[in-house]
Structure 1
């Protein structure tokens, strides 16, 4: 039986195909079959140490695509603002604009808000579930090496407060249908190609504001 790992691996080195006609409404994103999973991908781009499968954005709401938008939030250039309610992330440009990305956010009861900074960055990061995640689902694997099937995707930025890792991340995903939805255990997820773009633009140490109901404070 074809596995998702095999599907993703098959995308590596494949030419970028023309957009497919299948619409996202025809998929079953809660539990996509291997066939549905494969339809989300149209080729790959070079990356190290893994080439990165590319998502067919025609299956997504066009408003989730990265774009430059007017922005007047008052934060400094280089700051990141995540709006949980909007399910959007803004990279402030400092000229009255921001680069906006569609994101997936925490499920009801799991979303976090506050001010943090990027304590470190990692390419194709390893992943381990938090103790809360294991308590909720004891069947979770305890460790996953970086790679095409890793839940953190192609890049991760780790949110810290002072010397403490908050355990929340901004990261990629291999579940493109989850962008724009409340799906995670609290982390902020982007398409892999979008998180790579953001990763290159945001340095370690950058301030990140995560707001909900218009506020970042508890």
Structure 2
């Protein structure tokens, strides 16, 4: 899962980044309004941690742009301003949650998991697709109750497909979602082919009731088999 931290205080940004990476999230950051706007317009995120007071503009302006663009990124506002009016405005603009600084990292992590469950699997921790069970919080997969070992990228790919089952996913969207803005440095999509090839082999070998189908020239989609 991919998280964007929009926070101008370097020490806070680093603490959040380290804590979230320990939870195996892929984390990107923006330290001012302009950088934040560039990132939300160019990329999709599973969750955005948003400070209201930013150099160059307000975090509420970022929320307004997300709403204007029709983006579905989940947003948790992190603010030192404990104002009811700010909370109401932020939530009315589409924020999913509001956490006042200072806060405990454990509480933030719990809230991130909560909004991601709502966004990805309709509030469920475990999603079942035929004989396949995906436990999002434990980052585990089983087929007919037998654990299926997956590496980090394979799990992220499978989760992304599961959240978009029966929908065509093009290679660019998949690469950007799983690898983030580092994809700009790639010359081709060979690394995607390799990860998906390995994932498809593992699913087939254990007779999983799902299949990742290739749609020639367009991308892939996950279907029940």
The alignment's TM-score, normalised by the length of structure 1, stands at 0.22
Q: Give the structure with the larger strand fraction.
A: 1
Larger Rg: 2
TM-score, L = length of structure 2: 0.22
Higher helix content, 1 or 2: 2
Higher relative contact order (CA 8 A, sep 6+): 1
